[in-house]
Chains A and B, each alone.
Chain A
């Protein structure tokens, strides 16, 4: 699980061009959107595509997104439970 979290942090930095951040600077439970990392709706679309492309998970209900993308912890847990 911790390997997956590190992997996710790396992907978030790379895909969302957060070039000023390093993997160690993103806490597992840091809020990704809003006051936390400051991600926005365009980033959410990038993350949805990443789930599909890299982990084979299609987000059927967009309402689920809020809880799934809350933090690296929640993303990792969702991927572990649903990856194909």
Chain B
């Protein structure tokens, strides 16, 4: 028998103060820059100095976000650790390659090289909790997190595992900011108000970083946030076919448009690609509650894990923070949340969450 999959806990480190699970976007930070960093928790509360000293920022973020999620779920270990990352430990990669060039291929030190692989975060999490089970890292650009979700969901549904730690993690490095600025994937404005970027009318996005981890299980615990109903990824999808695709996704879950109480959209204020979201908000979901989050979190390859966090929190708390609302079609109750994301017109992901 196929088992249901539940989100039993969350751990989020983002550009907002989201690492405290008792809060839900209570105090909003507005930024005035096109590249933003996370609000760091006190890492020393979670990591001893010895193990933390070689960890780059992304590793610390991922390990601590996973600890927050595991603490909330009340579990000390899991059957598997599945991580999604678009760029991996890019800061150490940048450091290593820069030294390679600056020192004329001499004097190469091992630490940044060791830490620069994409699966370092998943490995460090497993080392920390002594999990010798399945450990996999998906590096599929902006569908990396959803790839990890699909893997976890398959294993839990088929009862090959009962508890899995799943997360998305990406860090922002100086070289990345430089090159993405040059190709204008980062907004070019000199002054910017991040809370207003969704209506900027300009090209590019505000770049950022973050780590969002979740304990998924095929057993529902008291801490349960939501049921993970379905996940789908389409690498390419035209605007013309988007509504048809959404109908098909809903059909395969025996749902209609009216069953969706809230849609979580990945608008990032890039005028060239936000039109995808407009197709849905002006069409099928015209009368649905629209929400968005990238004016709070910024954009990174696994930022949809923040959208996933938002959807799960809304379902658990049965509330929608005013700051994420794009319209006022408030539902009477939040039963089903559809999360849709794409980046620059590629890697379209659909996730359906349901109240548990």
Residues of A participating in the B interface, judged by any CB pair closer than 8 Å: 15-20, 38, 42, 45-46, 49, 52-53
Contacts and interface: CB of A to CB of B under 8 A. Distances in A.
Interface residues of B, number: 12
Contacts of B109: 15, 45-46, 49
A49 B111 CA distance: 12
A46 B107 contact: no
Contact of B110 (A18, A19, A42, A53): A42
A20 B108 CA distance: 25
B50 A38 contact: yes
B59 to A, nearest CB: 12
A20 B107 contact: no
Given A42-B110, A46-B111, 13 more contacts: A17-B53, A18-B53, A19-B49, A19-B53, A38-B50, A42-B54, A45-B109, A46-B109, A49-B108, A49-B109, A52-B107, A53-B103, A53-B106
Interface string B297-309: 0000000000000
B54 A17 contact: yes
B114 interface: yes
Contacts of B54: 17, 42
A45 B109 CA distance: 7
Nearest to B107: A53
Interface in B131-154: none
Nearest to B53: A17
Contacts, number: 26
B279 to A, nearest CB: 48
11 contacts: A15-B109, A17-B53, A17-B54, A18-B53, A19-B49, A20-B49, A42-B54, A42-B110, A42-B114, A46-B110, A49-B109
A63 B232 CA distance: 56
Interface in B63-109: 103, 106-109
Interface of B: 49-50, 53-54, 103, 106-111, 114
A45 B108 CA distance: 9
A52 B104 CA distance: 14
A49 B53 contact: no
A20 to B, nearest CB: 5
Contacts of A52: 107
Contact of A45 (B49, B103, B110): B110
A23 B109 CA distance: 22
Nearest to A47: B109
B120 to A, nearest CB: 14
A53 B104 CA distance: 12
Contacts of A49: 107-109
Contacts of B106: 53
A52 B111 CA distance: 17
Contacts of A17: 53-54, 111
Contacts of B110: 42, 45-46
A16 B107 CA distance: 15
A4 to B, nearest CB: 20
Contacts of B107: 49, 52-53
A16 B110 CA distance: 11
Contacts of A18: 53
Contacts of A15: 109
B92 to A, nearest CB: 12
A30 to B, nearest CB: 16
A46 B107 CA distance: 9
B60 to A, nearest CB: 12
Given A42-B114, A53-B103, A16 B53 contact: yes
A46 B53 CA distance: 14
A22 B49 CA distance: 14
A18 B49 CA distance: 8
B116 to A, nearest CB: 14
A19 B57 CA distance: 14
A53 B103 CA distance: 9
Nearest to A38: B50
Nearest to B49: A20
A17 B49 CA distance: 10
